[in-house]
Structure 1
Amino acid sequence: MYQVRLLPHDITFKTDGDDSVLEAALNAGIAFPNRCQVGACAMCLCRKLQGTVRYPLEPMLTEREQEEGWIFACQAMATSDLVLQLD
């Protein structure tokens, strides 16, 4: 199990790494911005400040966006504890 911390609200929830970050947040009753849940609308786009994620498919993010820490929460699966920034 991994812990995910959402800033700036300092909300935490757990994920087993098999669900996407968005699925884990919604399952924990957290109001996480989302719409399409397939990485097309960018509503769930957030910045990863700490930790690592994996994707079942290559995300629709540029290499620079990924280097800057941007993730699609609807597609990303935690592979460690995470700290995310919701703007």
Structure 2
Amino acid sequence: MYQVRLLPNNITFTASTQQTVLQAALDAGITFPNRCQVGACAMCMCRKTSGEVSYQLEPMLTEKEQAEGWIFTCQAVAESDLVLTLD
């Protein structure tokens, strides 16, 4: 289990490697923007300021977006503790 912290409100929850970051947030009762849950609508996109995630399928993010830390939480699985920013 990994600790995930959402900024700017400093909300924390845990995520396992068996679920997406979005599903972990929803399971913890956290209101998290989402719609399609397949990486097409970009509503769950947020910036990873620290930590590592993995994907079963590569997300539809440009190289620049990935370099800037953007992730699709509906597709991302935590591989370490994470700090995410909802801008």
Please give the TM-score of this superposition, normalised by the length of structure 2.
0.98
Q: Distance in 2 between matches of 1:16 and 1:59?
A: 19
Given residue 10 of structure 2, which amino acid in structure 1 is its aligned partner? D
2:84 — aligned with what?
84
Equivalent in the alignment of 2:67 = 67
How big is the shift at 1:47? 0.1
1:58 aligns with 2:22: no
- C-alpha offsets along residues 31-87 of structure 1, whole Å, 9 cap, x if unaligned? 000000000000000000000000010110011100100000000000000000001
- How many residues align structurally? 87
Q: Matched residue of 1:66: which SS?
A: helix
State the TM-score, normalized to the length of structure 1. Answer: 0.98
Identity among equivalent pairs (%): 72
Structure 2 unaligned regions, length at least 5? none
Q: Which residue of 2 aligns with 1:19?
A: 19
Structure 1, unpaired ranges of 5+: none
Please report how far the alpha carbon of residue 9 of structure 1 lies from its aligned counterpart in structure 2 after TM superposition. Answer: 0.5
Separation in structure 2 between the aligned mates of residue 11 and residue 84 of structure 1, nearest angstrom: 10
